[in-house]
Structure 1
């Protein structure tokens, strides 16, 4: 199969600054296997040559000065390639132009959240038009699939929920790294400290303010508790805005019990998960998926999170972690924290269950489901009979 993947444009593939959509493109395309030719359109980047070939993948890079010029460059190159299917990543407004230029090629849109499917970026009417023009729509959770079907009235038969994956290998390797102890020392963490880690962007939707208010009550009951907040305002950005200043105001009375760490590239994150005992993701918005939970679980860490959006599809309450509504964190977090330390083996057993749960979310499974959708839309558009069986994916990248 000849697969063309159009990345959104603002960030590079593979990602340099940890951007999540680009990370997903890189990981899943590695696993499609040598029987499939994959062309990935992305932006130019000082870290990579203009165009490169890596086994079954070809990266074609264009300058990004905005979505219009970028998409026009992609379309010019696509005309030469005759793809079997075009996968548009998280930019539904690219679809009308692509359909005009490629009326017979199946187009699938991969939506990673509802942000780019909502005003002011695109109207509900325009998004419904995208639903008519596209042959299929991928979502990373059943929650997001239901949102598009119920809120935007997209055809249910076209919308497919496929969970993202995780490679547990680097997260487990970090457990044995000497760099973890060194990093703890650099952050001022002592061996007796009990460490809660937050990883993610410092934006209101992620609920960091909820965590800080709740952690104050934890610290009142457990002076050994420490909170490490890893992240910036955006991918690769440590700009201090009004929300970050508010977070630091909330943290100030807690002194050295709260440690802020700037943005960390994704390749280094396995070490940061290992400096902690538990990971918190206090999301207050409807998270489509929440990759951090999966990465924390791959690190063997229990997760304290919220039941918003698709999170409960990944985290099992009292299995791999705790699901606590955001409005209950200040009341419930101290008790949950105490239980993690009071009951022998409770935390380590939950960490083992978290790792077992993370192993169920593989990029191999994600890629197989993508290919199933591609085969389905190709069969419908071309009228070819869908194959009864498919060779298993042989390359894990």
Structure 2
């Protein structure tokens, strides 16, 4: 089939600036091109050409300035003027694009991928939402939580929804106990930052209040392990190292911590895996209803035990003995208690991490994700015969 993927207006593809959706597309496209012709529409970037073909995939990039209306004002006229016909158009996380795209490419099947609850009444009016669900053939969601959130407002969507969890590159993320390359990365980054043999507690993510790293910093005052260090990897926004009010607050908290807290600032997407190699425990502190943070997959692939929160889709990633769910993400004591237990029982923590690695190998590789997307694409829509019997 001739297939068009339409990415969001926020970040470019490939994921040179980071981004969960961009990483997802980058992970599956090399596998999808084996059986289909792929074109990808995304936003412009100073480092990328506006029209190029790489490894058989055509990339078309349009100015967006990070604003959906600007993006659509460039993408829709292009599609309308183009004589190329697509068998299927797969739109990522922007239900607002479905009807305009359908109006200029009426013969294309349309699939929608949802990585956030963009059907929320504050983001999409009910009439448009009903029409979008009517028009799309399938809605792929990043977690059961997102699927349930959509069905709460649009129960008619239920038969079209399919959860396809994200994935991870097993060659990039590996347990340091099992991989010489990962061990070298671990030793290198620990030496560079003078971490020695400390127990590294890792947070990776955007630094904003709803992501909750301030609660983890506060938890350090109740940690019983003086040989621990908390490493916070991330910035206010992808590729943006400005010091926001929240980051200034976070750093002020860190300075008062009895346990060392290190903030790295923005780390390039291609270097983030090094911090997973260097760590001993991974903590996701989301206070908001997180759809399901992709950092969980990366932590598990690196063989790290997880601590995550009972928010949104995050609990769906805890399966058996691969991690712990924090019930009250705003309580530093709950984090401290679980971290104290985990750091005191290193053998058990390592078992958790290796169980997580096995889960990734069995369920969350890019091969798994691409295979499930192909199942959605290759499922032919049912065309009802309008002729009465």
Q: What's the TM-score, normalizing by structure 1?
A: 0.88
1:3-42 alignment to 2 at 5 Å?
Answer: 3-42=3-42
Q: Secondary structure at the match of 1:195?
A: strand
- 1:190 counterpart (196, 204, 215): 196
**Correspondence for 1:395:** none
What secondary structure does 2:172 align onto? helix
Q: What does the per-residue CA deviation read over 1:257-277, in whole Å, with 9 as the maximum and x for residues that have no partner?
A: 011111112211110112211
Q: In the alignment, which residue of structure 2 is the partner of 1:333? A: 335
Higher relative contact order (CA 8 A, sep 6+): 1
Contact 1:174 1:180 in 2 (8 A): no
1:111 pairs, out of 111, 114, 118, with 114
Matches of 1:23 and 1:163, distance apart in 2: 13
| Matched-pair contact (CA < 8 Å) for 1:174–1:274 | no
- 2:53 maps to 53
Query: What is the CA distance between 1:372 and its match in structure 2?
Result: 1.9
Alignment partner, residue 178 of structure 1: 184
Query: What is the match of residue 387 of structure 1?
Result: none
- Displacement of 1:321 after TM fit? 1.1
Following TM superposition, by how much is the alpha carbon of 1:113 offset from its aligned partner in structure 2, in angstroms?
Answer: 0.8
Cα distance between partner residues in 2 of 1:368 and 1:90: 20
Q: Does 1:229 align with 2:195?
A: no
Q: Is 1:131 aligned to 2:133, yes or no?
A: yes
Match of 1:248 in 2: 251
Deviation at 1:381, TM superposition (A): 5.3
Q: Residues of 2 paired with 1:109 and 1:278: CA distance?
A: 35
1:158 and 2:160 correspond: yes
Q: Give yes or no for the alignment of 1:277 onto 2:283.
A: no
Structure 1 CA distance for aligned equivalents of residues 61 and 334 of structure 2: 49
2: distance between equivalents of 1:328 and 1:95?
37
Number of residue-to-residue matches in the alignment: 377
Classify the secondary structure of the residue corresponding to 1:8.
coil
| RMSD of Structure 2 on Structure 1 (CA) | 2.2
Pick closer, same or farther for the CA change 1:381–1:101 going to 2, 3 Å: farther
Contact 1:283 1:326 in 2 (8 A): no
CA distance in 2, matches of 1:169, 1:327: 32
CA distance in 2, matches of 1:327, 1:370: 33
Residue 208 of structure 1 aligns with which residue?
213
